[in-house]
Amino acid sequence: MNELITIPRFERIAFIYHGFGAAGWGEKGLEKREEWQDFKRLYLRQVHSDIIHVISDVPGQTLRGDAMITGLPRLFLIIKTADCLPVLLVDEKKRVIAAVHCGWKGTLLRLLEKVVSGMKTQFGCNPVDLIAAFGPSISGRCYEVGEDVRGPFRDNCFPDKLFRPVPGQSRKYFLDLREANCLQLRRQGVGDRNIFSIDICTHCDRRFPSYRRDRAAAGRMFSFIALSR
């Protein structure tokens, strides 16, 4: 497997760069490509929130939040994860991109849904034109949560089908984080044919960082998207 995974549908878009890096692929990976040398890089202080930043100018400090939207060229929007779901979005017609960090808290707060809404109101994007890429994340076979997570999802009208009982364990469930975020895209009008997923479980595949598996020893996976022009 390559250190950097890309989505074929995104590769066909001439004016973007994107990727999901395996363990060990990070800033050095970004520095290797000669054509990226003059790109600026934007990271967030991720806090498992529904805070979204619309980037109209490169900020002078690290922003606090979990999603970025921009139409600025030559700026890498970078998300770091270690089991959470990284999502990249692009509108080919409007030349607008977004990068989103979807943990269970952000998912509960419908962060991805709000990002699509923000692209619509701030840039005039039509959700039917949006293309989404889901990177490697912990799968619904491994993401074990308790009633403290399931209860709030139920209270916020998420379907019970997102949770599957853990065999032999009372009040323990497997949460399907990918499907929970797919539902949000569909609610906003993004079609299934425009949702692409790298179905790798970070908890199972040691080529990727996993906090659930390795705790403090886990690194972070870099996911990025940028407009080239």
Does residue 2 register a pLDDT over 80?
A: no
Which of the four pLDDT bands, split at 50, 70 and 90, describes residue 27?
A: confident
Q: Which residues contact 84 (CB under 8 A, 6 or more apart)?
A: 101, 102, 103, 106, 137, 138, 177
Residue 104 domain-assigned?
yes
Residue 214 domain-assigned?
yes
Residue 25 domain-assigned?
yes
Nearest of 140, 139, 82, 79 to residue 111 by alpha carbon: 79
- Summarised one tens digit per residue, pLDDT across range 159-177 is 999 999 999 999 999 999 9
Token reading at 74: 């030559």
- Summarised one tens digit per residue, pLDDT across range 52-69 is 999 999 999 999 999 999
Nearest of 59, 55, 71 to residue 15 by alpha carbon: 71
Residue 177 domain-assigned?
no
Does residue 1 register a pLDDT over 60?
A: no
- Residue 210 lies in domain: 4-137+190-227
Task: Quote the pLDDT of residue 156.
Answer: 97
Residue 173 domain-assigned?
no
Residue 150 domain-assigned?
no
Task: Quote the pLDDT of residue 87.
Answer: 98
Percentage with pLDDT > 70 across the chain: 100
Which of the four pLDDT bands, split at 50, 70 and 90, describes residue 32?
A: confident
Total domain count for the chain? 1
Nearest of 86, 116, 103, 134 to residue 186 by alpha carbon: 116
Residue 217 domain-assigned?
yes
Which CATH number goes with the domain that contains 79?
Answer: 3.60.140.10
Residues facing 120 on adjacent strands? none
Residue 197 domain-assigned?
yes
- Summarised one tens digit per residue, pLDDT across range 89-118 is 999 999 999 999 999 999 999 999 999 999
